[in-house]
Chains A and B, each alone.
Chain A
C-alpha cells in the first residue's frame, strides 16, 4: 500500500471512516460518506481495509458454492442485476461496512472473470463459481476420459483453475483453491498435469 492510496483516502474525506472501522465504531453518518464517495477513493479505502484485515490471499472455490454462513457476503446478491460499477461499489461497501476480517465473495460465473478480477482491488477476498464445460454443463466423470499425461490434454477444471490463478496473480494477489479435495495452492500447467488421473 502506498502513500498515494492514503492520500486518495484522505482527500476524499474517508480517513475518518477508516479510523471508525479500525475502532469498530462505524455509524450511519459514515455510511452516508461511503454512499457519496468517489468510486476510486471507495476502492482505495476498501482495499486498505482488506489488506489490513485479510491480507493478500484469495480463496477460490471451484467445485460447488460453499455455504454463505458465518461472515460471508456473496455478490452479486440474490437475483440482483448490477452494472459493473454498481458491483464494485457493493463489494467495497461490503468490505468497509461488513464484519471485521469478513469474507467478501464474488461469483465470477455471474459477473464475468474480468469484473471479478477488478473486484479483488475493491475489497473482495474470495471467488466462487462452479467450473463447468464450455457449454455451461457440469463436468461429468466421463469428461476426464482421454485426458492426462499421455495425451497431453488437460481437463477443463485444470485449464480453468490455471486461468483463475492467472487472473488472481495479475491482480497482485495469491490464489488458494478450495474444493472437494481440500485446500491447495495454485500450480502452473505442467505441475497441474501431474495431478491428472
Chain B
C-alpha cells in the first residue's frame, strides 16, 4: 500500500493493521513519513511539547538476568563495578536536590536476588518522608514480575504493598521486543512478553497509569517492531492505562551485541513516526533524549514525538552502553531545545497535568537578519 493510501486511511479514522505498519517502516521516504506523523501529532497536541522535572536513580545494578543488550548489570554482588546503594545513600540523592527538587523519581534496577522486599518498601517510604508530594515512578514490569516470583507473591500483592509504601506509577522499561523469536535470543531469562503485559494490565486495574517502551535497532525486523506496537495497542484498548510510549534506541558498547551497529538517526525518526501512526490510542510518544541525543530528539519533535522526557539528572544505564548524551539537562536547557524546534514547552507532572506552560520561542530581529543574510548569500551564488 502506498503512503498516500495509508494517509487516506489515517485521515478517514481507519485503524492501521500489521501490513500497514510494516509498509510504513519499509517506506524509503522518511521525510514523507515524518510529515504524516507530524500531522497526527499536531492534531493531538498542537505545538505543545511536554517535559518534566525528574530524577533517574538506579539503586542496584546486581541482576540475575543476562540480557544480551545490557551493559549495566553485574551478575553478583562483589563483582567489579557492582553496586547496591544503602537506603540512606539513595535518600541522600533526593535530599541533596531539595533546593530545586524533582517532581518525579524514576527508579530502574537490576533483579537483585539478595535484598529483602522490605528494602524496596523502605526505599519508597523514605522518599515520601523527605518530599511527600514527589511522584514515585519505580520498578519496571520485569522487576515487578521478579518480585512476585522471588518473594512468593501475586502481582496484585506486590503492587499493593509497594503502593502502600508510596509507589505511584510504573516506568515502561523491560519491554525490549515482545516477539518470542527475538526475546528468546536477547532476554530469555526474565519476564516474557505476556508477563510484562500482564503486570501493566494489573497495575491499570489497580488504578495506576504506566508507560511502555520498545528497544529497537538490534536483531529485530520491522515485522517484530510492528508486532510489538500492536500488542501494546491491544493492551491500551483493553485498559486505557498507558500514558506514553517510548522507543529506546539500542546502544552496543560493552554488551553481548557489541558487534552490531547502533541504529542511526534516520531509524530513530522513522521509529518515532511509525509509533505515532500505529499507536492511535496512546496519547503521548516520547523522544527520550538520553537514547537518541538531544539534537536528534529535537528533530523528532517534528516526526511525531510530543514529549522529550525530563531533567533526568543522573542516567547510568545508557551511559554504560556508550551513550554520548549528557547525564542530565536543566529545565532551561529543555525549554530551549523545545523552543528551538518551534514548539511550545509545557512542564508536566507524571500524569501529564500542566505545571507550567512556557512561551513560544522568541526569535530576535538580529537572529532573523543573520538567517536572511545567509539565505541572500546563497541567492547571490545563484
CB-defined contacts of B269 to chain A, threshold 8 Å: 118
Asked if A8 CB lies within 8 Å of chain B CBs, one says: yes
User: Interface size bucket, B side?
Assistant: 35 or more
CB-defined contacts of B295 to chain A, threshold 8 Å: 83-84, 112, 114-115
Which of A58-66, A86-94, A146-154 is the contact stretch?
A: A86-94
Instruction: Judge whether B375 and A84 touch: CB under 8 Å.
Output: no
Instruction: Judge whether B3 and A114 touch: CB under 8 Å.
Output: no
Mask: chain A, 153-167; 1 = CB below 8 Å from B; 0 = not: 000000000010011
Which of A30-38, A130-138, A177-185 is the contact stretch?
A: A30-38
Which of B30-38, B94-102, B230-238 is the contact stretch?
A: B30-38
User: Interface size bucket, A side?
Assistant: 35 or more
Asked if A5 CB lies within 8 Å of chain B CBs, one says: yes
Instruction: Judge whether A4 and B265 touch: CB under 8 Å.
Output: no
Instruction: Judge whether B264 and A117 touch: CB under 8 Å.
Output: yes
Mask: chain B, 1-22; 1 = CB below 8 Å from A; 0 = not: 0111001000000000000000
Asked, given contacts A26-B379, A28-B379, A118-B266, whether A8 binds B35 with beta carbons under 8 Å apart, the answer is yes
Instruction: Judge whether B31 and A44 touch: CB under 8 Å.
Output: yes
CB-defined contacts of A115 to chain B, threshold 8 Å: 265, 295-296
Instruction: Judge whether B340 and A40 touch: CB under 8 Å.
Output: no
Asked if A47 CB lies within 8 Å of chain B CBs, one says: yes
A34 and B368 alpha carbons, distance in the complex (Å): 12
CB-defined contacts of A113 to chain B, threshold 8 Å: 264
CB-defined contacts of B35 to chain A, threshold 8 Å: 4-5, 7-8, 40, 44
CB-defined contacts of B4 to chain A, threshold 8 Å: 2-4
Instruction: Judge whether A43 and B342 touch: CB under 8 Å.
Output: no
A112 and B265 alpha carbons, distance in the complex (Å): 10
Mask: chain A, 118-141; 1 = CB below 8 Å from B; 0 = not: 100100000000000000000000
Q: How far is the CB of B303 from chain A (nearest CB, A)?
A: 8
CB-defined contacts of A163 to chain B, threshold 8 Å: 261
Asked if A23 CB lies within 8 Å of chain B CBs, one says: no
CB-contact partner of B30 in A3, A90, A172, under 8 A: A172
Q: How far is the CB of B228 from chain A (nearest CB, A)?
A: 20
Within 8 A of A (CB), among B323-365: 340-342
Instruction: Judge whether A121 and B266 touch: CB under 8 Å.
Output: yes
Within 8 A of B (CB), among A1-36: 1-5, 7-8, 24, 26, 28, 31-32, 34-35
CB-defined contacts of B261 to chain A, threshold 8 Å: 163, 166
Instruction: Judge whether A2 and B382 touch: CB under 8 Å.
Output: no
Instruction: Judge whether B372 and A121 touch: CB under 8 Å.
Output: no
Instruction: Judge whether B266 and A97 touch: CB under 8 Å.
Output: no
Instruction: Judge whether B376 and A2 touch: CB under 8 Å.
Output: no
28 A–B contacts, CB within 8 A, in A order: A2-B32, A3-B4, A4-B3, A5-B31, A8-B32, A28-B376, A35-B368, A39-B302, A40-B31, A44-B35, A73-B381, A83-B295, A83-B298, A84-B296, A97-B378, A97-B382, A98-B381, A98-B382, A99-B381, A100-B382, A102-B381, A113-B264, A114-B295, A114-B296, A118-B296, A121-B30, A167-B266, A170-B267
List 5 extra interface pairs beyond A4-B3, A8-B35, A35-B368, CB under 8 A.
A24-B382, A31-B372, A117-B265, A166-B261, A170-B266
Residues on A lying within 8 angstroms of B by beta carbon are 1-5, 7-8, 24, 26, 28, 31-32, 34-35, 38-40, 43-44, 47, 71, 73, 83-86, 88-90, 93-94, 97-100, 102, 112-115, 117-118, 121, 163, 166-167, 170-172
